[in-house]
Structure formats: C-alpha cells, structure tokens
Structure 1
Amino acid sequence: MSTGTSENNLKNWSYLGILALVWGSSFILIKRGLEVFSPGELGAYRVVAAATFLLPLSLPRVRHLKASQIQNLILVGLVGSFIPAFLFAKAQTQLSSSLTSVLNALTPLFVVLVGWIFFGSRITRQNLIGLAIAFIGVTILVMAKEGAGFGAFSDINAYAFFVILACTCYGFNLNLIKFRFDELKPIEITAISLLMVLPVALIYLMMGTQFSYKLATVDGAWRALGYVTLLGVMGTALALILFNMMVKTASPVFASSVTYLIPIVAIMWGVWDGEILLWGHYLGFAAVIFGVWVGNRKK
C-alpha cells in the first residue's frame, strides 16, 4: 500500500469518526435548544447560523449563477435544510433524541425511493426488501411506548412521521443535486442553497416568533442559543463540508456507512441524558438499521 493511499485511508476514517460524532450529537443539541425555543424558532435559527457561517463561500459565487441554477438552489435550500430543520425540531417535542436519530437513518432508502418514483432511477429487489424490513422497524418504533406493559406497544406516535417527512425531503435533495447540477461543486451547492433560504428564515425568526423576547427575558436562553448555534455551524455547515471532502477520496459505500454510526452516538447521548429505552425500541432499532444495510448493500 502506498503512502498516499495510507494517508487517504487515515483521513477518511478520521472524517467518518468526526462526522458520526457531530451528526450523532445533533439530536441532543436539538433537545437542549427546545428547552427554551419553540420548534419554529429553533429551526429558523439553525438555518440562520449555518447560512451566516458559510457567507464567505456563498456570496462571492452567487453572482455567477444562471437563473435555472438559482431556481434549483432554492429548491435544494428548502428540502435540504430549511424544511427538515423545522421537522426535526417539531418531532423532538414528542420523540426522544435516540428514536429520532434511528428514524433519520432511513434517509438512504428514501433517496432510492424518491429517485425511483420522481427521477426515473432504477430500484432493485434488494432495495425493496430493505425498505420492507425498515418499514417493519419503523412500525415497531412508533408503537413502542413506556407504560404499555413490559414496554410493549400502544397507539402510534404520530410525531415519527415528521422525521419520515424530513427523510423524504433529504431524498428529494440528494436526487436534485445528482440530476440537476453539473457545474457546481457540492460545497458550493450547500453554501449557496443556504444563502437562498437565509432571508426567509431571518424574517420569520425576527418577525414571526418570540425569539428576541426570549433572549432578553428567559433564563438559560443564551445557553440554549449556544447549543443551537453549535448545531447550525457544526452539525449543518462544517459537517456538510467535511462530508463532501470525504466523498472525494472515499468510496460511496464507505461514505454512506456514517448512516449506521450516527444512531450509536445519538443513543449514547440519550442514555447519558436519562432517556428510557424499551425492548420494543431496541427491536425497532435493529430492524431499521438492518433494513437500511440490506437496501444499500453492494453485491
């Protein structure tokens, strides 16, 4: 093995570990932010923080864009960042950070499903089997509730569908990037798409919420702001840049393996924070991760 290859392998494993830690920690940061802010406030400020951090990358490039590119970048900004930021925050008002992270692992399967339905991509029998297994896991997860006798099952927790809708948005986002962009680099797409939705997020945050009032009057608001700032800068902006760097030097299979590590980190945070996990949750976790693995496994 050459020195260059060894260095790339070391970098890729480092990227993978950092990404798993950063993205896996995002769910506990959302949980901390929700102690003060509403889901709308948290989602909007997360976008503002990430877009503002990336302004040095986005502003110099935006003037060279074509009209068609701007339209597509607005779509990417909405389905790739803006809408999911609100959906995840809303979901975690009633779901644990551990459960949310495992449901988020469905994203690769939704990339395949959305690509098949809306973009004419090929779907295989293996993809369908993985979807079926993961669907069983999701069903178990959304019905497992504390106090239902031996941690068994009760009514469906409908807030899980906010996460599933966010995964659908990510599915559209990645397919848009794959099929609608030939000239822009992934980092440029990330930065400029966030810039496209920044004005909407900022106007909503300042005029449609009590965000400023809470910062001035609520105890712990600035601490919660720090958590959400970290979420936006690290969990959205820097993590996406790091992921794009890894994609350049690693195989797609290796890059996608971060999907399986994120829930491990998130569950560790959740258990540390006192979240109660039932046997039904563990069974659902296993089915979802196994389904995602089957659906994305390379023969």
Structure 2
Amino acid sequence: MKNINIKWIYLIVLSIIWGSSFILIKKSLLGLTPYQLGALRTIITGIILFAFGHPKLKGIPKSKWKWLCLSGLLGSFFPAFFFAIAETEIDSAVASILNSLVPLNTIILGFAVFKITSTRRQVLGVIIGFIGTAILILKGSELNPNQDYLYAGFVIASTLMYAANVNIIKRYLQDVKPLAIATGNYVFIVIPALVVLLLTDFFTSDRLNSPDLPSSLLFVIILSVFGTALAKVVFNKLVQISTPVFASSVTYIMPIIALLWGVLDGESFSFTQALAALLILVGVYLSHRRKT
C-alpha cells in the first residue's frame, strides 16, 4: 500500500513539474528571445547535471559516446529551442497538448526505423491521435487568426526528436545509468548552447537593462532546475518504483496542468479544441494499453 501511494505522489509531482514547463517558457520569452531561452536553459541544466553526475562519466564505454551525443541533440538541445520558438506564436496549452504526440511518434519511429513491431491497437491509436492533432491545429488557427499555427510544426518536430531519443536510449544505451546518460548528453550540447548565446544580443546593454530580464531569468532558472534536471531524477525514480507503462501515464496529466495554467493566463481554448485534445489522449492510451 505504501509503494502504491508513493508512486502516485511521484506521478502527480512529475505531472505538475512538466505540465508547468510550458507556461514557464511563455513567461521567460517576455524578456528573452527563443534562442537566448533555449541556450540558457541548456547551460543552466548542464551545470546542475555536471555538479551531481560528473563521477558517472568515467564508467561510460567509449562505444556509447556517439549515441550519447545523438541522444543529447535530439532529446535536449534542439527541442529546447524549438519549443521556445513555437511559443512565440502558439499558446502554451496547445504546445503541451501537441507534446502528447511523443508516445505515438515513438511507436511510428520504432516501427519504421528501429524495426519494432506494433499491434493493431497501437496503429489505431496513432491514427486517432493524428486526427486529434489536425483538428486541434485547424481549430486553433480559426480561434486565433493572429497566431501563425505553422509554428506548431516546431512542436511536432520536437516530438519526433523525443521519440527518436527514446528509441536510441532503449536500443543503444540500455546498460548506461540514467544520470550518466543525462550528464553525458550535456557534455556535447553545453558548448554549442554557449556559442548560440554569445551570437545573440544577450550581453548588450539594451538587453541587460531590460526591465523584463530579471523575471525572465528567474523563470528560466526554475524551468532548468525543476522542469529539466529535477524532473529527470523524479521520472527515473518513478520508473524504478513502478513500471514504464505507469510512468508513461504522466502524458495524460501534463496537458491538464498546462491547460489550467494557460486559461489562468488568459489563453483562449474552445470546446472543439478540448475534444481534439481528448482524441489525442485516447490515441496515446490505445497505443500504450497492453492486452489483458
């Protein structure tokens, strides 16, 4: 009974952390450009992971480093920028719902690239999920004509990268410790993130004197510490005390948290979009449900 209660606590905490990440991105963009946000998020998270995970790097076999590099680029580096770019045009709640496509895309890439077989139920889940995605984007473009919903493509591209990363970890990094994977990822992406930051106007007097900069930096720090570094630890712990299937159910709760934040922040969300979101979650559920 105690373990059951603890795993539910971890699930709820993780859902709140990740579900709140989208509004934190939105608030960070008030004083930062998407490239500055992505770079700072990567650098701060890297510093935190290096502080705790650097001893784990010695035990990583040389043959694994190329996969750690690819995993870092696909699972952390590009999505950090892509989500920030997307939220300059689309609402944070919509971005969170589109992020639910990760499990569906994991199945598609697993079948197409990694030759992992899929069941009929999973295929049905993929179809339903993408119908929901199409409705969500089309209705969103009608509801918010001033927003460019082509930017939803950045979120969808990120979900494909996340899906590829999951398959890479499962196939090539299964025997590497989770903290070692996370720290090893950032070995490759912190320096490129620093280069990106230096190429922006972050260090100019206009940017440093911006009244929105202090609050934006605070949101980025919260996003990096909780939404990335701590969330990785919580998720790994959740997998250890439960099952991967139970841990993946965080996908169902995250959009609810993000939607609540979005509504509180004045974002518009229609009944049709709610139905589209439900379709996506049904698709995710079908794709993950095991036969009894």
Q: Is TM (by shorter chain) over 0.5?
A: yes
Aligned to 1:288: 280
Alignment-derived partner of residue 261 in structure 2: 269
* TM-score, normalised relative to structure 2: 0.94
- Which structure 1 residue ranges, 5 or more long, are not aligned? 1-5
Q: Is the Cα–Cα contact under 8 Å of residues 55 and 191 in structure 1 kept in the other structure?
A: yes
Where 2:137 maps in the other structure, the secondary structure is helix
C-alpha distance in 2, partners of 1:156/1:242? 35
* Distance apart, 1:256 and its partner CA: 0.9
2:199 paired residue number: 208
Supply the distance in 2 between the matched residues of 1:104 and 1:256 (Cα, whole angstroms). 13
User: In structure 2, how many angstroms separate the alpha carbons of the residues matched to 1:204 and 1:159?
Assistant: 21
Alpha carbons of 1:152 and 1:81: their partners in 2 closer, same or farther (altered >3 Å)? closer
Residue 63 (structure 1) shift: 3.5
Q: 2:169 aligns with which of 168, 177, 182?
A: 177
1:128 to 120, 123, 129: 123
Bigger Cα displacement from structure 2, 89-98 vs 178-187: 178-187
Look up the match of 2:69: 74
Taking every aligned residue pair, what percent have the same amino acid on both sides?
37
| Structure 1 contact 96–275 (Cα < 8 Å) conserved | yes
For the pair 1:45 / 2:36, whether they are aligned, the reply is: no
Cα deviation per residue 1:180-236 (whole Å; 9 max; x = unaligned)? 01431122211221232111111221x211122255221120110110111111101
Aligned to 1:35: 30
Match for 1:100 among 95, 98, 103? 95
Q: Which residue of 2 aligns with 1:22?
A: 17
Aligned residues: 290
SS in 2 for 1:158: helix
Q: Which amino acid aligns with 2:284?
A: V
Equivalent position amino acid for 1:139 in 2: A
* Structure 2, unaligned runs of 5 or more: none
Work out whether 1:87 is the aligned partner of 2:82. Answer: yes
Q: Report the AA paired with residue 241 of structure 2.
A: T
Question: Using the alignment, how far apart are the partners of 2:260 and 2:148 within structure 1?
Answer: 25
> Aligned partners of 2:196 and 2:147: how far apart in 1?
34
What TM-score comes out, normalization by structure 1 length?
Answer: 0.92
List aligned pairs for 1:189-204, cutoff 5 A.
189-204=181-196
Q: Is the 8 A contact 2:7 2:242 kept in 1?
A: yes
Amino acid at match of 1:239: A
| Contact map agreement 2:89 2:147 (CA 8 A) in 1 | no
Inter-CA distance 14–281: structure 2 relative to 1 (3 Å threshold): same
Structure 1: which amino acid aligns with 2:93?
S
Q: CA offsets, 1:150-203, max 9 Å, x none? A: x59999821111111100000111111100014311222112212321111112
**Runs of 4 or more above 4 Å deviation:** 151-156
Instruction: Check whether the contact 2:104–2:287 (CA below 8 A) recurs between aligned residues.
Output: yes
Q: Deviations over 1:30-74 (max 9, x none)?
A: 000111111111111111111111112332232443332111111
Across the aligned residues of Structure 1 and Structure 2, the Cα RMSD in angstroms comes to: 1.9
- Structure 1 contact 142–156 (Cα < 8 Å) conserved: no
Which has the higher mean CA deviation after the structures are superposed, 59-68 or 152-161?
A: 152-161
Aligned-pair CA distance for 1:294? 1.3
Is the partner of 1:21 in helix, strand or coil?
A: helix
CA contact (8 A) 1:101 1:263 kept: yes
Q: What is the CA-CA distance between 1:125 and the residue it aligns to?
A: 1.1
